[in-house]
Structure 1
Amino acid sequence: MSFTPGVHPTARVHASASIDPTALIEAEVSIGRDVIVGPACVIGTGTRLRDRAIIVEHTVMGRNNDVHPYAVLGGDPQDLAFKGDPRGDVIIGDGNVFREGATVNRATQNGGPTRIGSNCFLMTCAHIGHNAQIGDRVIMANGASLAGHSRVGSRSVMSAHCAVHQFTHVGEGVMFQANASVSMHVPPYVLLATENTVVGLNVVGLKRHAEFDDEDRREIKEAFRAVYRRALGQPFSDVVNDLTGREWKPGARRFVDFVVDALNQTPPRDRGLCGSVRRARS
């Protein structure tokens, strides 16, 4: 990260706040009582840090974010191998809300930064682990947790107390029922329940997706049924070959590409597909 530290003259900073001299506070930022902004942090234009919010270090925030009391962003990774390397970052987009007690850990040296898109909503005590990445408009309800190196696609919704295992990928537009947990990859647009269980398509989410028309939704349903409603005993390799050999509209193509990618990951991301077979090991 390269920037010139300082506090913009239009920023409103409470006298009790602690701002590290290496931090940058941009225009129209509001910083409340007892807030801490640590080394090498950027607080983007129009962002509000409410009383007692903590931005620990090496965190770059975009515009118009809202960080509530006792949220802690940019803390050390919860990784037994971490030895204090200062180079791990958190990169945050615009318009996100971090409610009370939400935590986002900065990255370890390997695996890229911890990254949050724009217009996400992390409710009370939601947690994003080191090197995890989430897209835009992701909702994490109270107590939802992402382990290190996990990924969640845009417009996904994690209900209360859901959990995603390390190195697991969740596609866009996935809906988690409360208390669901996954340790296998989850394709886009599905409804997830209990443990690694796909129970159907996220029909409500698909209807609300402005990009998709009726034909898009029909194709996504067709691709979903091919994967999860295939004939008893039909080799999964035959299903994949058939899906990849067809022309699809963008939504169904993303579903198919995700399935193929999930089944061809190498360790440590070789986690298989929810509700399906693991890729055969040689």
Structure 2
Amino acid sequence: MSQTRAMLQRAPHAWGLALALLGAVCFSAKAVVVKLAYRHGVDASTLLAMRMLLSWPLFLGALVVVSVRSREPWNLSQRDIGLIALAGLLGYYLASLFDFMGLQYITAGLERLILFTYPSLVLIMTCLRKRQWPARWQLACMALSYAGLLVVYGHETVLTGANTTLGVFLVFLSAVCYASYLMVGEELLKRLGTIRVTALAMLVSTAAVLLQTAVQQPFSVIWNQPAPVWGWSVVNALLCTFVPVFAVMTAISLIGAQRVSQMGMVGPIATILLGTVALNEPFTVWHATGTGLVLAGVALLSFKRPAA
């Protein structure tokens, strides 16, 4: 651990950028990995259960390591426990479930663009909580992003049919749940630390997924999945869930949240490229136009600061 810390401190900017890029690409690859697993006949709930079963021991191990190394007491109140449970249900259960379900009907590129607009949803929720209207420039940024989504959505509806609407709706619900998770977990993340909150929320979501699976079908359905589904689930749990979480957290500690967010702009582009190569998804001038509008709107919304 000390050798790793020393290595990062020798070139913090370079390592920070590299880890932020790694996190963005790994997060973005999730949609492609899920769609590759769907080719073998697995359903969304089973695939999500496999992801949780394979990833929760990793987060539990990280939680144990942090707890052993940290000398700060936990001091979890009943309110903290309730918020962690709510964060787990929103961020790693419902958001993931709606996302996996939506990916059955839309391309990986469109899915990533929809999820990428979550800053606008956080802004709307913040304004509702404070009972105030967004600024004009914020409304303009959101309009730009959603105009881009409409361009891509309209074109994909022509290419893939009516199920695109269902897929878009499900992934948008996922984005709403993720934005709600960020709102719920903001205070906890600052006070308890990202690893603790993420690991505990993952345990809650794993319990919820397993409960849903037990109600829907026998657990033997999971164990009897073909080898390719298990293989893609391992990739999903390790490279698309566990690795990017810690890569992004380490990058934030090295170069700051704003620069890491800027590197996150690579995410939709990486998903589109991976989807085109691995899934043979179409990428037309309409996709390029819509993607550009979404990226521009989110970038302006995330990094523009109102005049003092």
TM category (shorter chain) comes to: under 0.3
- TM-score normalised by structure 2 residue count: 0.21
Higher relative contact order (CA 8 A, sep 6+): 2
Look at both structures and tell me which one has the larger radius of gyration over its CA atoms: 1
Q: Flag the structure with higher helix content.
A: 2
